[in-house]
Amino acid sequence: MKTKILAAMLGCALSIGSVLGGQAMAAETIKVGVLHSLSGTMAISETTLKDTMLMLIEEQNKKGGLLGKQLEAVVIDPASDWPLFAEKARELIEKKHVASVFGCWTSVSRKSVLPVFEELNSLLFYPVQYEGEESSKNVFYTGAAPNQQAIPAVDYLMNDMNVKRWVLAGTDYVYPRTTNKILAAYLKSKGVADADIMINYTPFGHSDWQSIVSDIKKFGTEGKKTAVVSTINGDANVPFYKELGNQGISSDTIPVVAFSVGEEELSGIDTKPLVGHLAAWNYFMSVDSEANDAFIESWQKFIKSDKRVTNDPMEAHYIGFNMWIKAVEKAGTTDSDAVQKAIIGVTVPNLSGGYSAMMPNHHITKPVLIGEIQEDGQFEIVWQTAGKVAGDAWSDYLEGSKDLISDWRSPLSCGNFNVKTGSCSGNK
């Protein structure tokens, strides 16, 4: 009996081997693409996410892999070069035959790979907060949409801190510009006058903040409580906060709420001038939950340093990866179309002690937390939304976008369905 089965298996294996030839090895593992820059300007942020993916894959393999097979990470470095992202994505899908890809940080890199994923019908999990106004059949947005970060933060300032005047300061590129457009429309809908909104853009890596901070100071001493909503990107934040401190603006006179400053960014700078300023995220390392403690412990063990911090995009990858695992198990295959169908409605634990679900518009539900920066570079959570907020692909506050919805379930299956005209304008 035993020998018969053995012989049958051997025969089977031989025949597969002869058909697939060199591909026989590949069939034993499921490949997962990791598309994060490991060199160039974005390496600062993206290297951590690559390590996070490696850790998650290693842990999954310890648990027995997926569908009885081991997972194999295929790491590729697009070197912070936007066109290269598209080339490398094509390489991952066509040459390496990955089942899905986890990657990208900047919006421009996501826009660059989007057509590739749509053309080759593969899956991308995108872990960073972004400006919204996009929905693709092949992309899952596990970071925050504007209504999961920017709008609740503004609500907090408006209701809890009685802020009446607003400075919207950002770096000059697509995410801050779109976010500020949405915020300005939102503030106006709440009755804030044009004169009480100041919008300011600066180039990447701006280091001379003297006159801008002085303008903010003047703007903030005209009789109404003022706050700065900052979409200033990475590096430029340090001289910005330093200048605020030097010119005597502290968090209790003019608070700054930032959307791009997290634990990782704070670990490289002197945090004294920042204490009390705010950040809005869906996760902080200081979240008090068992899932988070376990995650931090395994992360620091994996990276072999108890000084390394965790941050919001890491949690997004944690959620996205577990959602993908669950969807593949549900579908019983890694086939893109089957996983796309299966993943909608999948619910997995997040790190803040609750559950996140994948919505039909390929965004997820998350709690929104507001934290104050502490001297040790961590955040003290001072406010959070009562429940979870579902990500909205199309902002309700922008002309041309407020009538659009996205729903990838059949029969609608459309990324930008206009509820007024009842039609889907492309993007099927």
Partner 1 sequence: MHIFLRVLHFKLFIPALLLTLFFSQSAFCLQTEKETQFTEGIGHLLHGNFKEKALATKQVADSGDSRAKSILQAMLEGKLYRVKKDDTLVYAEIKSAQAKISSALTGEQLGFVKKRKLKKITINNKLRSSLKASLARIDLASPSSTTRLQAVNKLIKNLTPRDSLLLAELLQKETDNKVRKALATATAIAKLKTDDTTQILAAISDLSGNLNPAVRNELMTLLGKSKDDAVRAKAESALASIASSISFYGFIEKLFFGLSLGSVLVLAAIGLAITFGVIGVINMAHGELIMLGAYTTYVIQQLLPNSIGIALILSIPAAFIVSGVTGIIIERSVIRFLYGRPLETLLATFGISLILQQTVRSIFSPLNRSVATPSWMSGSIQINPILSLTTNRITILIFSMLVFAGLYLLLRKSSIGLQVRAVSQNRAMARAMGVKAARVDALTFGLGSGIAGIAGVALAQLTNVGPNLGQAYIIDSFMVVVFGGVGNLWGTLIGGLTLGVANKFIEPWAGAVLAKILILVFIILFIQKRPQGLFPQKGRAAE
Binding footprint of partner 1 on the chain (CB under 8 A)? 41, 43-44, 47, 160-161, 172, 200-203, 205-208, 210-212, 214-215, 217-218, 221-224, 235, 238-239, 242-243, 245-248, 251-253, 255, 267-270, 273, 276, 278, 372, 374-375, 380, 382-383
Q: Are 51 and 9 in contact (CB under 8 A)?
A: no
Cβ distance to partner 1 smaller for residue 37 or 406: 37
In the complex, the smallest distance separating the C-beta of residue 253 from partner 1, rounded to whole angstroms, is 7
CB of residue 91 vs partner 1: minimum separation in angstroms? 24
Residue nearer to partner 1 on the CB measure, 255 or 391: 255
- Tell me the closest approach of the beta carbon of residue 203 to partner 1, in angstroms: 5
Q: Which is nearer to partner 1, 67 or 84 (CB)?
A: 84
Task: Give least dist CB 247 to partner 1, A.
Answer: 6
- Closest distance of CB 276 from partner 1, Å: 6
Q: Which is nearer to partner 1, 131 or 264 (CB)?
A: 264
Nearer to partner 1, 52 or 251 (CB): 251
Question: Which CB sits closer to partner 1, 248 or 426?
Answer: 248
CB of 295: closest distance to partner 1 in angstroms?
Answer: 17
